[in-house]
Each structure stands twice: as C-alpha cells, then as structure tokens.
Structure 1
Amino acid sequence: MKQRIESIVEQLKNRSPLPALTPKSVWDAKLDEEIAALDTSALGGSKAAIALKAALHLWNDSLDVSHSYAQQIEVDPTGGYWHGLMHRMERDYGNGNYWFMRAGNHPVKALVQQAAADYLTGIVGLDALPANKVTKELIRFRDESGWTSEAFTDIVKLQESGGGLPETREMLEQLQHLELKTLFRHTYAMC
C-alpha cells in the first residue's frame, strides 16, 4: 500500500496547474478512484488512516469526499485542520476558520508559518506590486512571520472576491500548496 500512496502523492505534488484556491471540480477523476480504492485497513482504521484519505482527496480537489472523511475525525486536531482546509477551498471561510481554531496549536501551523515567510522572502518584486490588502498581508506574512491559517483564509477570501492581483493569486496558490504538502507529511508520518 505504501508504494501506491507514494505514487499518488508524486502525481499530486507535481500536478500542473497547482490546486486552485477554490477548485470547481475534481482534478483527476481516475486518481480519485485510486485514492478511494486504497485499503487503509492495514493501518487499523485509525484516525491517521482516515485523515490520510481526507488529505489525498482534498489534494485532488475532491472536496465532498474529503469532507466525508474529515467529519469522521473532526475532534482530532489533524482532522480539524483538514476539515478547515476543505471549507476554505469550498469558500465557506467562516466554517474553515472555526475548524482551524478547533485544530488548536497544531504543530504544522508553525512549520507553515516559517515556510510561508521563507517562500515570500524569495519573491522578487513583491514590494513593487500595487499596494492593496492582499499585497500588504503577503508582505506581513513575510516580514513578521504573520501567516496563520485564519489570516490566510481571510486573504484567500479577499483574493476570491476580486481584491487581489493575478500575481498574488499565484503566490496564494503556492502557499496553499505548501500548506497541503506540509500537513500531508505530518498526516502520513502518523500512519
């Protein structure tokens, strides 16, 4: 099973284009079937195994299926985190932030905060973009290590409502992908 999971993960890591901030449909229907067919019973039906299925489906933009798994483990911090990501991606921002709060001080949040600052530090021209709320928040994420899952949700909402630029959309998609990969690594290590 490990080999099948790693094959799926490789496809998801290298997908092009990156997952949209708020996807409209499943990215790869065949891959979604492969994810659904994974027999995680070897993992004992643990919360980690359920979180793994929620993660892979979400990474493949299969929001409804991911949601069904996340709901089974929503009292677990990692399950709550996946639940929050799913709601953010479906544009249910308030519900997403509720689940991020329920995930508490999840260790992945600090990892993503640092990785977001590092990524944004490498963006040439960020300071030269027209000043708007999205750009200002990205600069804050960079300069103050100000990224939080809740603040990121708010900036995604602003971008999706027309308050950002094409350049900031690309940066936000990179940050969301970074968050998905980081939380996935944590989830997979728990299995």
Structure 2
Amino acid sequence: MRFWRDSRRTERRDGSGPTTRRDARAQTTIDFAIGAGVFLLAVAFVIAFIPSMLSPFAGGGQEDTVVADRVASNLVGGVLSAPETPYRVDGECAAVFFGASVMGDFDCGFDPDAVTVNERVGVSSRVNLHITIDGDRSGDGIERLCWDNAERRVVEADASGCDVRFEAGQSPPTDTGSVVVAWRAVSLAGETGQLEVRVW
C-alpha cells in the first residue's frame, strides 16, 4: 500500500521558530469497497443484458425458446427449402405450407396432407404456434407475403392477386411478454425475406 506524506512547515505557537507537521493519507477500505462494487455492477450488467441483445429471440420461457428455434431452423433448413440450399425458401413449397393446393410435382420437406401447422412442423398440438414470412417486394417497406395462384408467384399481401397469405397458426396473444419469437433471414423468389416463428 502506498502512502503519500505531506510535510508542511508551520510556526510554533510560542513563536520560537518553524516546526514540521506530517499528514499521512492512504487508500481506505471504503474506497476499495466502492471500486469493487462498481466493477461487480458492470460485470452483472454485461452478463444480464448482452446475451439477450445478441440472441435471435425475444421474450418467453426456456422451453418455448427451444421450440421456436428448432421450428425456425427446420423450416429454413429443409422443410421449405432444399437441404443443399438452406435459407433459400421455395415459393411453391411455402405456398402449400401456408394452405395453397398441392402443386403437380410436390417435393418439399413436410406432409401436405397434414391438417394443422403443428403437424407440418412436428410439434405437439399443446404448443401454440404462429408462423409468417414477410418481405419487401415493391420497395415500400416490409409486408406480409402472399401466393398468387393464377400467376404462380410470390406477391405482397396487399396485391390484387393475393390468394394465400404466408401466415399460419393461431393469432398471438396481445400480451407480447409471453410470446417467444425466433426469426431467420431467408431468400425467397430472388429477394430477401424474413421468416418468423412465434411460440407461447
């Protein structure tokens, strides 16, 4: 521990000449405690908040987070796209997944005869799911995507040829704090889109 000494020359009270007074000052226990406390608070902040900022999830419990992540990964890794080209969603597979009639040559990673979205992704019916695909095809912002049956192409939901919206499952509750969201950036019909899976 280092000490700093300050020597000052002062006059004696009797006026007989100068004398030397030494004042000693050192780091105290309180100074150390404050410094350690600030450091521990900074470490606690990093541990508590940084992982949630970097994670591709929002809200919810641990089990819901695992389900949302698994469903999103499966959808972009082989259910809606070929296993050799993950994250490149096939427009016709997506259309059938969200409710369009089965195309002539069906070769996607799910059973088109499955009635519910839970059956198509292999999740228990007790789990509440909501799956969507959004994108910006017209350059005026992110919107829900849709399938045009007549032209067999992906359009935005507000387009005149929108027949099957890329949206399936139950409507999420208004209490968003109980909903876990996992999302993946995908390529769909040559443009960037976003697949979102909500679980609660």
**TM-score bucket (shorter structure):** under 0.3
TM-score, normalising length: structure 2: 0.27
Q: TM-score, normalised by structure 1?
A: 0.28
Structure (1 or 2) with the greater strand fraction:
2
More helix by share: 1
